[in-house]
Structure 1
């Protein structure tokens, strides 16, 4: 499909448009989605947020303004119930409902900030996704107080400050600049797609799982295990030839480092091919 071709081109670029990649992903769930109209919602949000944006402000002040506008006035945030709703992973739905998973809400913050030249970046932590505001080269420095060069905020909680102690609890150690470096578009999309794929593990969500895995395979840096998962999903869908091809491709990729996994995948590929008879 044309949308997949465009998606592949965007995610091949670390600086590719995250919003557009997210919306092209959402076209898999809604083929009639108007991507440009959805992008227009982000432009409109940026106009609202930019109206009162403090000039020459420090990161903490910028964070407070974004919290007041995006988290407060616009009402973007999340709750535990949002984790079992596919719409929470679809940017077009998040922009309308103003509810979503942490990584999608962070995407809204980052995309609005980019339109206003606010230095905001998405940052993936174990089990959570937040936004860093300020100079990413100074991430990991003491980030408390009004003059901090870099602060973390939590869009899932409406944009409240995300203290160092919270990052420590997730990481198991004091956060470093490496832990808090900005995530690029390919890496972020892989995590979004992994969320969708995990949500779609139920048998009645197989079609969604298939497109999530297929898009993941288009992203540079996609883990080898995704190819095996795709093969297994194709087998469940009755595409035994496709399943065997994917399992064999996985085996070739991992056989040097994981010979047992490669052997098992080849056995599964043979079983899939036998079901063609």
Structure 2
């Protein structure tokens, strides 16, 4: 079986896996190999080396929250990772294989590397629901620290977070508890792939955007928003049968998940239109 077929099978199995059991590093490698089919063994070995290096950086040292933050920063520095400010929109920045090759990437890709190494030590670290810029939260000994993986795992306080929020959400935006809320492993992977989807849409490449959505549905098969996007893009591309199936799935899951009546009605109208075009 080729690396790509193995990755597809792995992602389908993730779709039926409890969120807490998802290995973020392995899942991100599987997503990356869909676009760059290659042997994953060297990349898995690199993640293992990073985890071992973090263990060495902290062995026999003080183990406070600040110490752990400093160790994560030293880990990225040791391996030469940095945020890609120069070519931020490059698709390679959201592909973990290319991120490892180039030692640069988007905040969420670098965040996955940090989380994989930290969790290998048993540390409690998670992604946050912060708009426009992926952030991490490290919990330890009753304390919490928000971190920016794009800036060498820099520690952020309320002032920095407020400034960052206003840059992405507008000058009137203010911090709310939602911005500090943790996201699931599956949501981290969705956020990673969403970067690819949006870049393809911006480049007027709906076929590629649809392919990314189909990959996302492998590991998030109950995500109603993705099914609706799949229906819209399939309809746009003239793939009427696939669009009908996607809208039908959206309606079934959406009714179970409490989607708004307005959205359900609008999708039913779209579905009727597609069926009319098919007939």
Unaligned 5+ runs, structure 2: 166-172
- Per mean C-alpha deviation after superposition, the further-off stretch among 105-114 and 164-173 is 164-173
Mapping 1:1-277, distance limit 5 Å: 1-11=5-15, 12-15=17-20, 16-30=22-36, 32-54=37-59, 55-70=61-76, 72-135=77-140, 138=142, 149-169=143-163, 170=165, 172-173=174-175, 180=180, 182-202=182-202, 205-220=205-220, 222-254=222-254, 257-276=259-278
For residues 253 and 19 of structure 2, the distance between their equivalents in structure 1, rounded to whole angstroms, comes to 24
Equivalent-residue separation in structure 1 for 2:194 and 2:243 (angstroms):
19
2: CA distance, partners of 1:113 / 1:200: 32
Comparing 189-198 with 98-107, greater Cα deviation is found at 189-198
CA contact (8 A) 2:33 2:97 kept: no
- Note closer, same or farther for the CA distance 1:105–1:271 as it changes in structure 2 (3 Å cut): same
Query: How far off is 1:129 after superposition?
Result: 1.6
Does the C-alpha gap of structure 1 residues 254 and 123 become closer, same or farther in structure 2, counting only changes over 3 Å? closer
The offset of 1:52, in angstroms, is 2.9
Closer, same or farther: CA 243–123 of 1 in aligned 2, 3 Å: same
Measure the CA separation in 2 of the matches of 1:211 and 1:252: 22
State the SS of the aligned residue for 1:201: helix
Q: Secondary structure at the match of 2:47?
A: helix
Query: Residues 228 and 192 from structure 1, CA distance in 2 versus in 1: closer, same or farther, beyond 3 angstroms?
Result: same
Kindly tell me: are residues 123 and 203 of structure 1, through their superposed partners in 2, closer, same or farther at Cα, counting changes over 3 Å?
A: closer
1:159 positional shift: 1.8
What are structure 1's unaligned runs of at least 5 residues?
Answer: 139-148
Q: CA RMSD in A?
A: 2.8
Given the two structures, how large is their TM-score scaled by the length of structure 2?
Answer: 0.80
* CA spacing shift, 1:46–1:201, aligned 2, 3 Å: same
Q: How many residues align?
A: 262
- Superposed CA deviations along residues 24-45 of structure 1, whole A, max 9, x for unmatched, are 1112212x23233311111122
